[in-house]
Amino acid sequence: MSMHVFDLRDDGRTPPDSGLLEIVQRGLRAQPKSLPSWLFYDERGSALFERICEQPEYYLTRCETALMREHAASIADTLGVDVRLVEYGSGSATKTRLLLEHMASPVSYVPVEISPQPLRESVARFAERFPGLPVQPLGADFTRPLRLPIPPRAPRRTVIYFPGSTIGNFATRDAVALLRKMRGEMGENGGILVGADLKKDPALIEAAYNDAAGVTAQFTLNLLARLNRELGSDFDLSAFRHRAHYNALAGRIETSLVSQRAQQVRVGRMLAKFGEGEPVRVEISCKYSLEDFAALAAKAGLEVLRVWMDPERMFSVHYLVR
């Protein structure tokens, strides 16, 4: 089990302890080249991600919010009373608010977030909206084992909320390891409420990652700007292009930065060579059928107790139990 948790450190989603330079050099030495997707989320990258969520092609946020508007009462009813709600991430304002509004006597709300500023904002937001609700922020990387704060009173159950299809950014083996870790944290009687994007017309999926306004392309390229700033590397941003392609066989979007010409880039003392058209993989976004997701959960020793979908059946939220 702890082996699996440590495996998560190489999954492309998990911020490391070891030096950034080392991680980047290792990724650029690999064949094919790849860089971890957590590198997207510096201040500008996080702001760009917010803008992605507003793009008309990026249906995920719109559909998950519609789902929560439609089903929050039923979801809250399924979770039951006296729940401690632990959210992986810093309180996706609308969705979490909708859920908490319908929950009967929640014991506490525990947002888990590695970046201090979003965590502070989340606490302020929820304290204002739910004055009677104990908010117990936890500054931590949710992919690592967590020590949850002692709740103000004994909860009937702990529910881990993981919205937004972030589970899809983990390869299967790492997603299973993460679900297994959650299974331990929720305890015997607990549950996991997790958002997952559904398989659908590949054209719709591809459009979501190739918005016409080019925000996703900016988001992807910002990764190189971040490396230039933080490592002093000399990536020429105009010599790389964003590419997001739906691999129907694997059921996932594969996002790469593609070198537009043969070039060399200095990264620390390393001179990284890129061929013309050579891709650097920076993200995967897995899409599931309901059966796929149930099979994934089963690998982690979990079963789907209930599933909800938005009216267009684009997005799903699953309630998993032991």
Q: Which residues bind ligand AVI (CB under 6 A)?
A: 52, 60, 164-166, 168-169, 209, 216, 283, 285
- The nearer residue to ligand AVI, 169 or 259, going by C-beta atoms, is 169
Which residue's Cβ lies closest to ligand AVI? Answer: 285
In angstroms, the CA 64 to CA 196 distance is 9
Q: Closest Cα partner for 55 from 208, 202, 221?
A: 208
- What phi and psi values does residue 277 have, to the nearest 5 degrees? 85, 5
In angstroms, the CA 201 to CA 199 distance is 7
In degrees, to the nearest 5, what angle opens at C-alpha 154 toward C-alphas 150 and 158? Answer: 75
* Pair type for strands 315-321 and 303-309: antiparallel
Q: Minimal distance in Å, beta carbon 104 to ligand AVI?
A: 30
Q: Minimal distance in Å, beta carbon 232 to ligand AVI?
A: 26
- The nearer residue to ligand AVI, 60 or 110, going by C-beta atoms, is 60
- The nearer residue to ligand AVI, 122 or 169, going by C-beta atoms, is 169
- The nearer residue to ligand AVI, 158 or 210, going by C-beta atoms, is 210
Q: Minimal distance in Å, beta carbon 131 to ligand AVI?
A: 30
Spacing of C-alpha 23 from chain mean position = 20
Q: Minimal distance in Å, beta carbon 280 to ligand AVI?
A: 15
* 131 three-state secondary structure: coil
- The nearer residue to ligand AVI, 27 or 190, going by C-beta atoms, is 27
Q: Minimal distance in Å, beta carbon 150 to ligand AVI?
A: 30
In angstroms, the CA 25 to CA 265 distance is 11
